[in-house]
């Protein structure tokens, strides 16, 4: 088993020293879903949800969250992001919303946490804006879908991944 990188020799938490790592282009994408009632989707699609443009607001919240990840996750490095995007699509088959994010940087550490944070906060924002009309909503399936760059190279989630 690997040693825990966020603990020093005495068991105290510390931010990992990444100063010796090579700067590379880093990209990560993540996705998740928010399941809800079909009636909720009808209201959102029609623009009649009580809190207005919920999809656009949640997309913006996700982008803002990606930029603030190091403020939210202890020991996470602050990174100069070169791109952060969040896309929310209505999926009648769920029924609900499919949320995806892509984050990029040129740096010494990856942006997986930023992508996951973007998706998580976009989901939470949707939940907050729709809870008055739908208490049945469930957030789930949040995961990194792909990453590239760095020493470990490229990785893509497939059906075979656990």
What is the rounded distance in angstroms from the CA atom of residue 37 to the CA atom of residue 25? 40
Cis amide prior to 95 (ω within 30 degrees) = yes
What is the rounded distance in angstroms from the CA atom of residue 99 to the CA atom of residue 111? 17
Selection from 134, 119, 140, 117 nearest residue 44 by Cα: 134
Out of 3.40.50.10490, 3.30.70.640, 3.40.50.150, 3.40.50.720, the CATH code matching 24-147 is 3.30.70.640
pTM beyond 0.85: the answer is: yes
- Dihedral angle, C-alpha 81, 103, 120, 5, nearest 10 °: -70
Residue ranges covered by each domain of the chain: 24-147
From first to last of the 162 residues of the chain, give the pLDDT tens digit. 356 577 777 778 878 888 888 899 999 999 999 999 999 999 999 999 999 999 999 999 999 999 999 999 999 999 999 999 999 999 999 999 999 999 999 999 999 999 999 999 999 999 999 999 999 999 999 999 999 998 888 999 985 555
Helix or strand run (H / E) with residue 31:
strand 24-35
Catalytic residue among 128, 134, 141, 154: 128
Active site residue 128: yes
What is the rounded distance in angstroms from the CA atom of residue 32 to the CA atom of residue 118? 10
């Amino acid at each position: 088993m690997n040693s825990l990188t966020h603990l020093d020799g005495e068991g105290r938490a510390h931010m990992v020293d990444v100063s010796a790592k090579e700067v590379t282009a880093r990209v990560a994408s993540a996705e998740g879903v928010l399941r809800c009632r079909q009636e909720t989707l009808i209201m959102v699609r029609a623009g009649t949800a009580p809190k207005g443009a919920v999809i656009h607001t949640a997309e913006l919240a996700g982008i803002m969250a990606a930029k603030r990840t190091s403020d939210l996750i202890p020991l996470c490095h602050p990174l100069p992001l070169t791109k952060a995007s969040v896309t929310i699509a209505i999926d009648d088959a769920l029924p609900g919303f499919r949320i995806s994010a892509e984050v990029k940087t040129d740096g010494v550490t990856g942006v997986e946490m930023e992508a996951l944070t973007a998706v998580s906060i976009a989901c939470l924002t949707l939940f907050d804006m729709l809870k008055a009309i739908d208490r049945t909503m469930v957030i789930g399936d949040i995961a990194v879908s792909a990453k590239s760059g760095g020493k470990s190279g490229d990785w893509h989630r497939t059906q075979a991944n656990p």
